[in-house]
Amino acid sequence: MRTMIRALGAAAMATSLVALASSAGAAMLGEGVTVYMQMGGQPGEPPVLPRTNGAKAAAEALGVKLIEQYSSWQAETMLAQFREALAAKPSCIAIMGHPGNDAFADLVADAIAQGIVVTSGNAPLKELQEKYQDRGFGYAGVDLYEGGAITARAMLQAGLKSGDKAMVFGNFSRGDRGLSDTGMADTLEKAGITVDRVEMSEEVNGNPPLSIPQLVAYLQQHPDTKALGTQHGGITPLLPDVAQQAGKASGELILGGIDTDPKTVAAVKAGTMTATLDQQLYLQGFLPVLQCVLSVKYEMGGFTTNTAAGTLSPKNVDALVPLIDQGIR
Amino acid sequence: MTAVVNGKARRASAQQRSLIARVLATEGVPILLVLIAILVALMALAPNAFLGWRTYVSVLINYQPQIICALGLTLVIASGEIDLSFPSVITLTSLIFAAFYRFDNVFWLNWLAEGRTPEEIKAMQAQLSWLGVVAALGIGAFVGFINGALVAWIGIPSIIATLATAFVWRGMAVFLAGGKQFALRDFNQTDLWDITTGRLFTGLFQSGDVVLRKPDGIPIQAVIVLALAVLLWFILNRHRFGESLLFIGDNAHVARVVGIDVKATRVKLFTLMGALAGLAGMFLTMETENFTTTQGQASLLVVIAAVFIGGTSIFGGSGTIVGSYIGILIVVMLQIGMVAMGLGGDIADMVIGVVFVLAVILHMLVERPERLKGLGFGNR
Amino acid sequence: MAFGNVVALRHVDFAVGRNEIVGLIGDNGAGKSTLIKIITGVLRPTSGRLYIRDQPIAWSDYSVRRAHDLRIETVYQEKSLGEKQPLWRNFFAGRQITNRWGFIDVRKEKEIANKILLDTIGFRGVGIDAESTVSKLSGGERQGVAIGRAMYFDADLIVLDEPTVALALKEVRKVLDFIERIRTSGRACIYIEHNLAHVHELADRLVVIDRGEVVSNIKRGEMSLHQLTDHLLALQAKKEAAA
C-alpha cells in the first residue's frame, strides 16, 4: 500500500513538472491581466458556484489573475467592493447589474477614465453598456425578463390552453428581482392564461422548504390550477414535492422553474418537473474574463451574449447530470 | 331570607369564576384558543385549503426543524439567554449528514469511493448515513458546547457570542461542502429513511392508484418531534436541570446562592441546544433530500417570534414548551393562509406582527388580570 | 479576599461558637457580605483556612451544597428566593427530592412545602400555599419562607443577612424571637444587622468590620447600647481623619 502511494506520488510529480515546463514555454494570452470579479452571493451558493467555476477556468486557461468578490446579493456591498477594486487599479473589473445604472454611473466613469476595462454579467446595465461598449463593456447573462418568458413558453408548449389557470410565485414587488417572474407571468397572460401573481415573503426567499405548505394550501384552495411557476432557484427543486403533497399525480401539474439544482434535474429526468431555465451560469463567469483579456490586450469592444440557451427538459437532461454534479452546469 | 339567598349565590359564582380562571391558567390554554380562533377564521376564508387534510399534513412534513428549534430555544430563553447561532448550526449539521451520505462528493471523504463500483458506493451510502446521524448530532452538540463555553466560562453575553459563532459555523459548512450542493438521491429507499422520515398510517391516506415515492401519511418526524416536546416539557418542569434553568433565568445570583452550579448548567444548556439544532439540520436534509449552502438561514426571527407568541417571557425564569409548539403553528397557519388566499407574503408578515403584539398582551393580562382594571375595564 | 484589584477582606479571623449568636456589624462596603458568602460556600477566598466543627475543610471541597450538608443555612431575604418561582421550588432549590434520573418528585415537594408553611412558619388561611409565586408575597412573608426553609433543613448554624430590613413592627418582633429561639435550641447564628438596638439585645458577641478588617470584638455586657454607638462613631471619625 505504501509503495503504491509512493509510486503514485512520483508519477504525479513527474506529470506536473512536464505540464509546468510546457506551459512556461508559451506565453499565456492573459498574462499580466488582473481581474476583480463580482460573484454575487456567498461562495458555494447554487446560483454562484457555476459562475465562479467558469471564471476560474477562464482565468487558468488564459493566465489571468482573478480576484473574486462576494456580496451576499447586497447592492450596497457591490458598490463598496467596486470602490475597493478601483483602489487596487486592476486591468479589468467585472460587475453585476443589481445596483442599477444610476448607482454605478460615476464609479464606472472613474474606472474608465483611469484606463480600467469594465464589463458586466448576470444582471444587465443597458445604459452603461451602450455608453462604454467601445471601451470593452460587454454583458454575459440572461435578460431576466426574457428568461422568465423562455420558461413560460416551455410551459405553454407542454400543454397549456387559453383559459387555463396558473400561479406564479415570485418577488413581483421587489424591483429587478421580480423581472423574471414578471416575464413569466406576462408571457403566460399573453397566451390567454389566467395568472395569479402571488408574492413570496422574505422568509421563504431565504428558506425555500417553508414554501411547500404554502403552495400546497394554495393548490388545495384553487384546485383548478393547471400550472405553477417560479423563478426562484431554491424553490424550483421543491415543486415536485409540492405537487405530491397537494395530491397531484405526476405530470398532472405543469411546473416551471429555474436553474439546474441536482434535485430539479432528477425531477426533470423522472418527468415530475416540466421545464427549468438553464442560465448556463458557467458562461456568465467564463465570458467576462475572456472579455477582459480581449479588451485589455486588443482593445476589442464589448460583446453581448445571452447565455440562456433554453430550458432543461426530459429530452436533453441525461447528458448534463454529471456536469451539474461538478458545478459546471 | 334574601341575605341568605344572596350569600349562597355569591359563593357559587365565586366558585365558577375560579374554574374559568383555573382553566385559563393552565399552561398553553390561552394561546391554544388563539390558534383555534385563527383556524376557524381560515376555514371560513379558505375552506378548500383548511377543511381538507393535505394542508395540515404538509405542515407536519416540512416544519419539524423549526419546531425543534423553538422547543430548544424555549429552554434557552427561560434561563435568561438567547441563541442566535442555531440557523448556522442547522446549515453545518445538515451538511455533515449530507456529506456522509454523498461521501463521493466531498473532498474530505471521497477517498472512500476510490476504486469502488457504483453498486458498492450505493451500499456504502446506506451504511455511512447511520454514521452521519452520529456525526451530525455530535457536531451539533460540540458547537453548542463551544457556545456554552464562551458564555459561561469566558463571560461573553450570549447574544454576542452566538451572533459571532453563527458566522463561524456557516462558513465552516460552506467550506466543508467544497462549495458544492448535494442531492441525496434515493435516500428514501434506505432503512434510515424508513425509521426517521417515513410515513405512518399510509392506509388511511390512499389517493388513488398514483404510485408515489413518498406515500401520503403522517410523517414519522412529526411523531418523533412530538415525543421530544413531551420529553423537553418534563425536563423543564419536572427535572433538576430544568429547575436550575428556571432559577438562573429568574436571578443568577439567587441561583448561585442556593447552590446551583450556574456555569456548568449554562454549558450543558447550550450543548443541548446545539444537539437539538443538529437534529433539526439532519431532519431537514432527510426530508428535502437536498443540501444547499443557504439551508435553514432565514428562520431565525420566525422561530424566536413563535417562542414569544407562545408565552415564554423575555425576562427569563419561566418557559412554556406547549406555548412554543402552538406559537410555531400560529405563525405557520397565518403564512399559509395568506398564500392560500393568493395574498402575498408581505401581508402575512403584517398579520403575524399584529398577532404577535396581541399575543404578548394576552399573556401579560393572563398573568396579571389587575392590569385590566388599570386600563379602566371592570368596575366592580 | 481580593476581587481583582479590590481587596475586600484582609487578615480576617472569624469564629462562631457552637451555641453562640455573633452579631456582625459595620458600614456598607465594609466586607460583611463578602465574609458571609465565603462562610456559606458561595465565594472562595484568595487565601485562608476553614474549620467547621474543629475539622479543617479544603476550599476545593466547599460549596453551597456542601455547606448545606454540613448544616449551615442562610437567610438572605430577597436574594435567596426565585421571584417568579412557586414556593415549593424555592424550598427545595439546589437539593430537590429526585429519583435516580434526576426527575423531581413534585407531589412530595409540594406536600412538604405545605406542611412547612402551615406548621413551621404558621401561614394559616392567608391564601398562600405551595403553589404561590414568591412575587405575590410581602417582605415579611418572604422572610418567613426563607427562615422556614432554614429551620426545616435543621441547620446548626444559621446566617441571617439583614433580616429585619423593610419589615413591619410585628414581623420584626417575630424575627427577633426566632433568633432568640436559635440560641435556646442549642444552635448558632451569625447575625448581620444595621439596627444596633436589635443586635445589641441578642448577640453574645459583636464583631465590627471596617474596610475589610476586624476592628473590634465586643462581648455581651462589655458595652451598653449608648457606649457601643459612641465606639462606632469614634471609629468613623478616625476613618475620616485618616482620609
The domain made up of A31-142+281-307 has a fold known as Rossmann fold (3.40.50)
- Among A51, A73, A165, A216, the strongest candidate for a mutation testing the B interface, having the largest count of B CBs within 10 A, is A216
Residue B9 lies in a domain: no
Out of B49, B179, B292, the one facing A221 most closely (by C-beta) is: B49
Is the CB of residue C74 less than 8 Å away from at least one CB of chain B? yes
**pLDDT value for B207:** 56
CB-based contact C104 B317, cutoff 8 Å: no
Distance separating alpha carbons of residues A158 and C194, to the nearest angstrom: 89
Mutual orientation of helices B64-78 and B300-309 as an angle, nearest 10°? 60
**pLDDT value for B206:** 60
Of A2-6, A319-323, C72-76, C181-185, where does the model show the most confidence?
C72-76
Is the CB of residue A263 less than 8 Å away from at least one CB of chain B? yes
Torsion sign over Cα A63, A64, A70, A74 = negative
Question: In angstroms, what separates the C-alpha of A66 from chain B's closest C-alpha?
Answer: 18
Distance separating alpha carbons of residues A78 and A69, to the nearest angstrom: 8
What is the number of structural domains in chain C? 1
Condensed to tens digits (0 to 9), the pLDDT of residues B259-296 reads 899 999 999 999 999 999 999 999 999 988 888 777 77
Out of B239, B259, B318, the one facing C65 most closely (by C-beta) is: B259
Residue with cell 430577597: C78
Kindly state the percentage of chain C with pLDDT values over 90: 7
Residue B377 lies in a domain: no
**pLDDT value for B376:** 55
Name the residue ranges covered by the structural domains of chain A.
Answer: 31-142+281-307, 144-278
pLDDT tier for residue C94 given thresholds of 50, 70 and 90:
confident
Is the CB of residue A194 less than 8 Å away from at least one CB of chain B? no
What is the number of structural domains in chain B? 1
Mutual orientation of helices B86-101 and B64-78 as an angle, nearest 10°? 140
C223 backbone dihedrals φ, ψ, rounded to 5°: -130, 150
Torsion sign over Cα B177, B180, B183, B185 = negative
Chain A residue with CA closest to B335: the answer is A214
Residue B271 lies in a domain: yes
CB-based contact A263 B284, cutoff 8 Å: no
CATH of the domain at B191: 1.10.3470
- Do A132 and A114 touch, CB atoms closer than 8 A? no
**pLDDT value for A228:** 95
Burial C17-56 (b: 16+ CB within 10 A, else e): eeebbbbbbbbeebbbbbbbbbbbbbbebeeeebebeeee
- Do B68 and B273 touch, CB atoms closer than 8 A? no
CB-based contact B292 A203, cutoff 8 Å: no
Q: What is the ipTM of this complex?
A: 0.82
Residue C6 lies in a domain: yes
**pLDDT value for B155:** 94
Residue C122 lies in a domain: no
Out of B58, B179, B210, the one facing A245 most closely (by C-beta) is: B58
Condensed to tens digits (0 to 9), the pLDDT of residues B193-210 reads 888 888 887 766 665 544
CB-based contact B258 C98, cutoff 8 Å: no
CB-based contact B246 C89, cutoff 8 Å: yes
Is the CB of residue C103 less than 8 Å away from at least one CB of chain B? yes
Residue B275 lies in a domain: yes
Is the pLDDT score of A4 beyond 60? Answer: no
CATH number of the structural domain A144-278: 3.40.50.2300
CB-based contact C42 B256, cutoff 8 Å: yes
Contact of chains B and C by CB distance (3 or more pairs under 8 angstroms): yes
Q: Give chains near A: 3+ CB pairs under 8 A.
A: B
Condensed to tens digits (0 to 9), the pLDDT of residues B131-179 reads 999 999 999 999 999 999 999 999 999 999 999 999 999 889 888 887 6
Question: What residues make up the domain containing B41?
Answer: 28-366
Out of C40, C83, C101, the one facing B250 most closely (by C-beta) is: C83
**pLDDT value for A14:** 44
CB-based contact C83 B251, cutoff 8 Å: yes
pLDDT tier for residue B10 given thresholds of 50, 70 and 90:
very low
C-alpha cell at B57: 399534513
CB-based contact B212 A44, cutoff 8 Å: no
* pLDDT averaged over every residue in chain B: 85
More confident residue, A89 or C163: A89
Contact of chains B and A by CB distance (3 or more pairs under 8 angstroms): yes
Out of A214, A261, A262, the one facing B339 most closely (by C-beta) is: A214
Distance separating alpha carbons of residues A238 and A259, to the nearest angstrom: 12
Please name the residues in contact with B111: beta carbons below 8 A apart, sequence gap of 6 or more. Answer: none
Chain C residue with CA closest to B250: the answer is C82
CATH of the domain at C64: 3.40.50.300
Question: What residues make up the domain containing C224?
Answer: 2-80+154-242
pLDDT tier for residue B9 given thresholds of 50, 70 and 90:
very low
pLDDT tier for residue A263 given thresholds of 50, 70 and 90:
confident
Question: In angstroms, what separates the C-alpha of C98 from chain B's closest C-alpha?
Answer: 8
Pairs across B and C, CB distance < 8 A: 69
**pLDDT value for B372:** 59
pTM attached to this predicted model: 0.80
**pLDDT value for A230:** 94
Is the pLDDT score of C230 beyond 70? Answer: yes
Question: In angstroms, what separates the C-alpha of B125 from chain A's closest C-alpha?
Answer: 17
Residue C175 lies in a domain: yes
Q: Give chains near C: 3+ CB pairs under 8 A.
A: B
**Closest by alpha carbon to B217, among B50, B51, B54?**
B54
Is the CB of residue B59 less than 8 Å away from at least one CB of chain A? yes
Residue C96 lies in a domain: no
Same fold, A31-142+281-307 and A144-278: yes
Chain A residue with CA closest to B60: the answer is A213
Question: In angstroms, what separates the C-alpha of B316 from chain C's closest C-alpha?
Answer: 9
More confident residue, B377 or C167: C167
CB-based contact B344 A201, cutoff 8 Å: yes
Is the CB of residue B370 less than 8 Å away from at least one CB of chain C? no
- Among C84, C89, C134, the strongest candidate for a mutation testing the B interface, having the largest count of B CBs within 10 A, is C84
